[in-house]
Amino acid sequence: MFLGAAMHLFLLNDSLARECALNQTHFADGYRLALVGFFGSFVAIVSILANFLLFYVFSTSRKLRRQNYANPVLLALSDIIVSTCYVLMTSMHVVFYRAEFVPLVHGWASYMRFTYCLQHVALTVSNFLLVVASTERYLASNSLHTHKRLLVFMVRRKIYVIAFIVVLSLIFKASLFLETETLYLPECPELMSVIPVWIHSDSFWQSVRFWIRKIFTIIVPFFVLAYCNICIVSQLRKGQRESVKKSLRKSRRGRYNSGSVKRRYNEKKGVRIATKTLVMVVGCYLFSNSLTTVINIWEFFDSDFLRYDHYYAYLLWSDFASLVGFFPLAP
């Protein structure tokens, strides 16, 4: 997203920001207003409504609670937080600067740091919960005794798994609140006097934090998610083939009826749904995080190129990457 990326670029002692040369009103043009302010808000609101409905259904249904569907409830809650933070932090930022409404810009600056940190923590929780849910599905679809025992172990200790996910997300992302700041420049025009900045620290530890976050919150979850879903689809297809063979044997014995036809159709439908889910979740996850990772790595090694020469193009790519990442959030 724009704000998160921009704070990686502009440092606390950056001369461009301190010389009042960063005209954010100029970058909040009609195209970005349509993309981020209107379309981005629409996608985020759809995500909020869809996840609120999902949260309500799974949290109020006794049947679903007995089946231990804790992950969808928490996933929906995390996605609601992520989508709400996007509207408050990114969409409103563009809208306020486009309208050149100074009081709202200062109001946005007052909650920016907290919202930025909260969104990243919630997004990390959502990614980890998705990994846990896929792992449980993978273990449930496998017939090995050790996998079944591990599944029972995870289900019986669900509260500890969830607590571990939340703590791990806080460890990785809560420090963002201390690593970001709002720079106020009283000598600049009012709309140029509020700059979100990234507090620069020792370069070695900054590199360590950067790569640890990328590896454990993006790269590892993606490969675990891809592996589990590939195995799930493989197991479903294997079960379908075995079921078809049984149906054929029954038909040769004269016991083939309409019920078996319906069952075969439902089995094929289940494989198709699982395959589409795999393509959607893994594909969107890979595409959105690949764009974000490439942009972040680029700015980490060559921020001057983006900061001075191609800043507007950088903003557009960041906006597009953040919007693509929303599609898996809207079930």
Closest CA to 68 of 162, 164, 165: 162
Q: Specify whether the CB–CB gap between 198 and 180 falls below 8 A.
A: yes
> What is the predicted pLDDT for the residue at 84?
94
> What is the predicted pLDDT for the residue at 7?
52
Q: Please tell me the distance from the alpha carbon of residue 146 to that of residue 156, in angstroms, as a whole number.
A: 15
User: Tens digits of per-residue pLDDT, 205-215?
Assistant: 777 777 888 88
How buried is residue 62: exposed, middle or buried, by Cβ count under 10 Å (0-12/13-18/19+)? exposed
> What is the predicted pLDDT for the residue at 1?
41
> What is the predicted pLDDT for the residue at 322?
79
Q: What angle do CA 213, 17, 10 make, to 5 degrees?
A: 10
> What is the predicted pLDDT for the residue at 2?
41
- According to DSSP, the residues that pair with 197 across neighbouring strands are 181
Domain count, the chain: 1
Read off the CATH number of the domain in which 280 is found: 1.20.1070.10
101 is written with which tokens? 């409404």
276 is written with which tokens? 């589409």
Closest CA to 104 of 91, 122, 117, 116: 91
14 is written with which tokens? 């950056």
Q: Please tell me the distance from the alpha carbon of residue 213 to that of residue 170, in angstroms, as a whole number.
A: 11
State mean pLDDT over 139-152. 82
Q: Is the dihedral of CA 221, 225, 226, 227 positive or negative?
A: positive
Expressed as residue numbers, the domain containing 13 is 2-327
Cα Rg of the chain (Å, integer) = 24
Write down the mean pLDDT value for the chain.
77
Q: Please tell me the distance from the alpha carbon of residue 69 to that of residue 14, in angstroms, as a whole number.
A: 48
Count CB neighbours of 121 within 10 A: 23
Helix locations, the chain, DSSP H:
2-9, 15-18, 24-27, 30-32, 41-60, 62-66, 70-86, 92-99, 102-141, 145-156, 158-173, 176-179, 203-214, 220-252, 258-301, 303-304, 311-324
Helix locations, 102-219, DSSP H:
102-141, 145-156, 158-173, 176-179, 203-214
Q: Please tell me the distance from the alpha carbon of residue 229 to that of residue 224, in angstroms, as a whole number.
A: 9
User: Tens digits of per-residue pLDDT, 278-296?
Assistant: 556 666 666 666 777 777 7
Report the range out of 99-113, 191-205, 215-229, 299-313 with the highest average pLDDT. 99-113
pTM: 0.81
Higher pLDDT, 286 or 106: 106
Q: Please tell me the distance from the alpha carbon of residue 42 to that of residue 217, in angstroms, as a whole number.
A: 27
